[in-house]
């Protein structure tokens, strides 16, 4: 299976002691990139939470004539149907962020289970799980998403399920590689000899030592979840009655926003997806730089030394 092993050059070094993990959080806040990302994320989370206050009432309510350009009454204009784009975007954040983070958490959970089991038990369990992971990794994601979503009954839970099924494999592979290197350390062997239960060793001994890798895979999964949900809904495979960034784009494209030149119907939702993904990527990038000293810029390294 050598040829399909991607050399992950960014595999961070293991923070060995718990004190360094606390350091990771502080370093995150110190890093400008991460701080910008975190602030952006917090802002979006706040907007999503406050949507009922900021834009009260049903967002898909038709309250103006169609295709109005941005004005004082409708800050971001109105869609071809006459819905307020600002309200749609604010309410869309709720579904998009909810699905994105749920998919991220569940997919990472599955990946942790598979990766840890694979690394801890080794041999045949490892072979079998690696085989399954590699198959899922190789099947083209979007077509798989589409046929799964097309056959299952439509709805938010289907979208989440389908995204988890197609999204866990990449993380499982990274986590397995990391867990495997920790599995070989002496303190794990010591834990085995003292007769600790496998589950305890996996979750109390191995897992805490790979917190930063779990974090990067989690962020990656959330980015995937938000983007893939939007793609799926854009194709009309989500629940088109739910207001989310993806369905906003679906309706914009369906109502011919591109051809009639109503750019305000599709720009806000897409921009929001990109900003959230960008914020997550920034945090991810910062975690990578903190845990992998080689990637740190020379200047930062010199400061550290001095």
Partner 1 sequence: MRLILRNLGFYLLAFWASITLNFVLPRFMPGDPVSRMFAQAQGTMQPDQIAQLRKLFGLDNRPLWEQYVSYVKSVFTGDLGISITRFPTPVSDVIGSQIGWTLLLGGVALVIAAVLGNLLGIVAAWRRGGVLDSAFPPLLIFVGSFPYFWLAMGALYLFGVSLGWFPMRHAYDVGLTPGFNGEFLSNVATHLVLPALTIVLVSIGGWMLGMRNTMIATTAEDYITMAEAKGLSPSRIMFRYAARNALLPSVTNFGMALGFVIGGALLTEVVFAYPGIGYQLLMAVQGLDYPLMQGIFLTITAAVLLANFLVDLVYVRLDPRVRVR
**Rounded CA separation 238/250 (Å):** 10
Choose between 120 and 285: whose C-beta lies nearer to partner 1.
285
Q: How far is CA 231 from CA 134, 140, 142, 226, 273, in A?
A: 24, 14, 9, 9, 11
Q: Residue 152 CB, nearest distance to partner 1 (Å)?
A: 7
Burial 218-239 (b: 16+ CB within 10 A, else e): bbbbbbbbbbbbbbbbbbebbb
For residues 19-38, which are near partner 1 according to CB under 8 A?
33
1 binds partner 1, rule: CB under 8 A: yes
CB 88 within 8 A of CB 79: yes
CA angle at residue 204 from 170 to 198, to 5 degrees?
85
240 binds partner 1, rule: CB under 8 A: no
Single residue of 152, 161, 207, 211 touching partner 1 by CB under 8 A: 152
Q: How far is CA 96 from CA 205, 228, 257, in A?
A: 35, 10, 21
Q: DSSP assignment of 201-268, as one string?
A: IIIIIIGGGGHHHHHHHHHHHHHHHHHHHHHHHHTT-S-TTS--HHHHHHHHHHTTHHHHT-GGGTHH
263 binds partner 1, rule: CB under 8 A: yes
Single residue of 35, 80, 105, 146 touching partner 1 by CB under 8 A: 146
**Rounded CA separation 50/27 (Å):** 30
Q: Residue 180 CB, nearest distance to partner 1 (Å)?
A: 18
Greatest C-alpha distance within the chain: 74
Stretch that binds partner 1, among 54-62, 98-106, 213-221, 269-277 (CB under 8 A): 269-277
219 binds partner 1, rule: CB under 8 A: no
**Rounded CA separation 72/39 (Å):** 28
Choose between 182 and 279: whose C-beta lies nearer to partner 1.
279
Strand partners, 83: 62
Strand partners, 84: 78
Choose between 91 and 264: whose C-beta lies nearer to partner 1.
264
Choose between 52 and 261: whose C-beta lies nearer to partner 1.
261
- Helices 211-234 and 245-254 cross at an angle (nearest 10°) of 20
Choose between 111 and 282: whose C-beta lies nearer to partner 1.
282
53 binds partner 1, rule: CB under 8 A: no
Q: Residue 224 CB, nearest distance to partner 1 (Å)?
A: 11
* CB contact set of 71 (below 8 Å; sequence gap of 6+): 77
Single residue of 297, 304, 305, 306 touching partner 1 by CB under 8 A: 297
Q: Residue 223 CB, nearest distance to partner 1 (Å)?
A: 8
Choose between 98 and 203: whose C-beta lies nearer to partner 1.
98
Count residues near partner 1 (CB under 8 A).
58
281 binds partner 1, rule: CB under 8 A: yes
Choose between 191 and 243: whose C-beta lies nearer to partner 1.
243
Residues that bind partner 1 (CB under 8 A): 1-7, 9-10, 33, 131, 134-135, 137-144, 146-148, 150-153, 223, 227, 230-231, 234-237, 249, 253, 258-259, 261, 263, 266-267, 270, 273-275, 277-278, 281-282, 285, 294-295, 297-299
């Amino acid at each position: 299976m050598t040829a399909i092993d991607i050399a992950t050059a960014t595999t961070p070094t293991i923070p060995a002691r718990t004190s360094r993990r606390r350091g990771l959080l502080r370093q995150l806040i110190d890093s400008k990139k991460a701080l910008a990302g975190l602030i952006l994320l917090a802002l979006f989370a706040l907007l999503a939470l406050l949507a009922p206050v900021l834009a009260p009432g049903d967002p898909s309510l038709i309250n103006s004539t169609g295709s109005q350009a941005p004005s004082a009454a409708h800050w971001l204009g109105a869609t071809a149907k006459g819905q307020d784009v600002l309200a749609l975007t604010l309410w869309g954040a709720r579904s998009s962020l909810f699905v994105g983070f749920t998919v991220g958490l569940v997919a990472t959970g599955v990946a942790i289970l598979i990766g840890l089991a694979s690394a801890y038990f080794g041999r045949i369990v490892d072979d079998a799980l690696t085989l399954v992971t590699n198959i899922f990794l190789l099947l083209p994601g979007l077509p798989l998403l589409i046929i799964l979503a097309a056959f299952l009954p439509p709805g938010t839970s289907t979208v989440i399920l389908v995204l988890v099924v197609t999204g866990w494999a990449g993380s499982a592979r990274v986590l397995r590689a990391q867990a495997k290197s920790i599995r070989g350390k002496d303190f794990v062997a010591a834990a085995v000899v003292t007769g600790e239960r496998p589950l305890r060793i996996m979750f109390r001994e191995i897992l805490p030592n790979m917190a930063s890798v779990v974090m990067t895979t989690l962020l990656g999964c959330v980015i995937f979840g938000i983007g893939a949900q939007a793609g799926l809904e854009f194709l009309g495979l989500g629940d088109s009655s739910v207001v989310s960034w993806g369905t906003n784009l679906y309706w914009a494209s369906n109502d011919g926003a591109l051809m009639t030149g109503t750019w305000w119907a599709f720009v806000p939702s897409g921009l929001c997806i990109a900003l959230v993904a960008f914020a997550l990527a920034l945090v991810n990038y910062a975690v990578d730089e903190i845990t992998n000293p080689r990637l740190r810029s020379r200047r930062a390294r010199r400061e550290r030394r001095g």
